[in-house]
Chains A and B, each alone.
Chain A
């Protein structure tokens, strides 16, 4: 299966702290994406990193990708209570098909 796995499954931190979530996957990819899901809502795209990139930033988000280890990390700096959500990584197939396979998610709770 191409499905990724996030680690940890759940993370609880204080507001203002940084949150780091990791994703491991099994097959070759052409890109890796991170999504956020608030409770009872649909997923929202956060950031995409291509297989030839190693690091990408977007606001308080920093994503790294290590294709040799088949892993990625998402760092949220200076967390806020509003960041409380589930975070998923998703991998795109190198075949060029545009379907994505999602990981199991990390449930982040930011305590005000």
Chain B
């Protein structure tokens, strides 16, 4: 299996622009997680899905952030409009093999100028 695949790996954009991050979980996994990592705040859970349904989005910072999972093999995290404080590495992870272990993608490094 290719593992969790995220795109883009790097994104540089200007304040006010829309940003869309993409994630393909491991096939057969039924849970998907979006995390954000910064030096100041560490790893923060933004939202997670179970069987494509959002279960807990209490970590989503504000209405500018939205996440969707239209099917079991694809999820997006959208920021509109983006702000410099959104600069971070965004990780997608999936689980569902019964071990409780999360499998992480390599992350999308976002820089908002």
Contacts and interface: CB of A to CB of B under 8 A. Distances in A.
B102 interface: yes
A104 B37 CA distance: 10
Contact of B101 (A33, A41, A88, A103): A33
Interface of A: 3, 31, 33, 35, 41-45, 48, 88, 90, 92, 97-105
Interface stretch (B13-21, B41-49, B79-87): B41-49
Contacts of A92: 100
Given A98-B100, A101-B45, 7 more contacts: A42-B107, A45-B103, A97-B56, A98-B95, A99-B56, A100-B102, A105-B42
A97 B55 contact: yes
Interface in B45-73: 45, 48, 50, 55-56
A97 B95 CA distance: 12
A43 B42 contact: no
B99 A102 contact: no
Contacts of A44: 104
Contacts of A105: 42-43
Contact residues of A: prevailing secondary structure: strand
Contact residues of B: prevailing secondary structure: strand
Interface of B: 4, 31, 33, 35, 42-43, 45, 48, 50, 55-56, 91, 93, 95, 99-107
A99 B48 contact: yes
Nearest to B91: A42
Contacts of B50: 98
A101 B42 CA distance: 11
Contact of B102 (A41, A43, A103): A43
- 7 closest cross-chain pairs (CB), A and B: A42-B104, A102-B43, A45-B101, A43-B104, A104-B42, A42-B106, A99-B48
Contacts of B106: 41-42
Contact of A48 (B42, B48, B101): B101
30 contacts: A31-B100, A33-B100, A33-B101, A33-B102, A35-B102, A42-B91, A42-B104, A43-B43, A43-B93, A44-B104, A45-B101, A45-B102, A45-B103, A88-B43, A90-B102, A92-B100, A98-B48, A98-B50, A98-B95, A99-B45, A100-B33, A100-B102, A101-B45, A102-B35, A102-B42, A102-B43, A102-B45, A104-B42, A105-B42, A105-B43
